[in-house]
Structure 1
Amino acid sequence: MEKESFIRMMGQDWDFFLLPSAGLSGGIMVMQRSDLAYFSIVKTSEQCVIGELNVFNRGVWMITMVYASKETVNRRGLWNLIQEVDHSSIPSIIGGNFNCILAKEDKKGGRRFRFNQGSLEMVKFMNENDFHEAGFVGPRFTWCNNKKGGDRILERLHRCLLNSLAINKIQITMVRHLARVASDHCPIALKMFDTTCKGRSGFKFEDTWLSFREAEHIVTNR
Structure 2
Amino acid sequence: MEEKIGGMPYNMNKSLEFISMIEACGLIDLGYTGLPYTWCNQRNAQARVWKRLDRSMVNDKWLETMPQTTIEHLSSVGSDHKSSSIEMVRKNEDHIKYFKFLHCWVDNESFIETVQNCWKREVTGNPMWKLH
Q: TM-score, normalised by structure 2?
A: 0.66
Partner of 1:42: none
Partner of 2:51: 155
Deviations 1:62-108 (A, max 9, x none): xxxxxxxxxxxxxxxxxxxxxxxxxxxxxxxxxxxxxxxxxx81100
Alpha-carbon distance in 1 for matches of 2:24, 2:79: 34
- Whether 2:4 is the aligned partner of 1:107: answer yes
Could you say what the CA RMSD is over the residues aligned between the two structures, in angstroms? 2.1
Give how far 1:148 is off.
Answer: 1.3
Identity %: 28
Partner of 2:82: 186
Structure number with greater Rg is 2
Partner of 2:126: 196
Q: TM-score, normalised by structure 1?
A: 0.40
Higher relative contact order by CA 8 Å / sep ≥ 6: 1 or 2?
Answer: 2
Alpha-carbon distance in 1 for matches of 2:16, 2:39: 21
4+ residue segments displaced more than 4 Å = none
Partner of 1:144: 40
AA aligned to 1:139 is: L
Match of 2:2, SS state, is helix
Relative to total residues, which structure has the larger strand share, 1 or 2?
Answer: 1
The runs of 5 or more residues in structure 1 that have no matched partner are: 1-103, 202-222
Q: How many residues align?
A: 97
Match of 2:62, SS state, is helix
